[in-house]
Amino acid sequence: MTLPRLKVYRHDRGSRALITLAGEIDAATAPQVRAALERCLHDGFTTIDVDLTTVGRCDNSGLRVFLDASRHAAGSHASLRLHHPSPQTARLLADTGSDLLLL
């Protein structure tokens, strides 16, 4: 039995959704993240907070998902923010200038 590499939890409160991710975000798991964020937008949430406290690593494919979701959110008059990134993820965001958009 293999353990899932990423767990996705969602908690809704009014017009806000909190997505908590646990594991690693890479090419194999990015579609899970994309689906969760798209579902939030589809369900009409105007604020999407993503808690990365228990994400050990996020690669470029995960970054692409967050940037795409942020762009789609803005087009729907919604917002997406990342919270508590690991040092590695924070460096990735800073190095690409994405921190200004996502944090």
Average pLDDT of the segment spanning 69-91:
97
Bigger pLDDT: 2 or 55?
55
Contact between 57 and 88 under an 8 Å Cβ cutoff? The reply is yes
pLDDT digits (tens, 9 = 90+) for 7-23: 999 999 999 999 999 99
Residues linked to residue 7 through DSSP beta bridges, in sequence order: 22
Task: Give me the chain's average pLDDT, please.
Answer: 95
Q: Percentage of residues in the chain with pLDDT exceeding 90? A: 95
Has residue 1 got a pLDDT over 70? no
Average pLDDT of the segment spanning 24-32:
96
Contact between 70 and 102 under an 8 Å Cβ cutoff? The reply is yes
Q: 45 — alpha (psi -120 to 50), left (phi > 0) or beta? A: beta
Confidence at residue 61, expressed as pLDDT on a 0 to 100 scale: 97
pLDDT digits (tens, 9 = 90+) for 46-72: 999 999 999 999 999 999 999 999 999
Average pLDDT of the segment spanning 24-50:
97
Look up the pTM and report it. Answer: 0.94
Q: Residue 103 has which token pair?
A: 């944090």
Helix (H) or strand (E) holding 67: helix 60-75
Q: Which amino acid is at 10?
A: R
